[in-house]
Amino acid sequence: MEEMNFLVKGSSTEPYELTFIKDGDSLTAICTCPAGTYGNFCKHRISILDGDISSISGDNAEQAKIVVAWLSGTDVEADLKELRAAEAADEPSKKAVADAKRKLARAMNT
């Protein structure tokens, strides 16, 4: 079993603690932010898995590469790919809504 810990910036004045645990083909991520504490979607965990180190406030940001490498072959990797596919499929709808809002705003301002 391997473990990697990070301090990450969030909405609190104090950084949150984020821990990744790799045990065989299992990857666990525990974050002390409100979303992570309640078992919900946590942007801190996902940003590091995406290789984005901008939220890391500690001096070990370069170690995020190790965590990204741990992702390969895990169920988390499959679920993250599924999320990215769903986001990509939703993008045209978001653009259509934004375009319709702009069109409506122009119509009401003329």
Answer whether residue 110 shows pLDDT above 80: no
Q: Could you tell me the residue range of the domain that residue 63 belongs to? A: 2-108
Question: How many domains, the chain?
Answer: 1
The dihedral sign for the CA sequence 1, 71, 66, 63: negative
pLDDT (tens digit per residue) in 1-59: 999 999 999 998 999 999 999 999 999 999 999 999 998 999 999 999 999 999 999 89
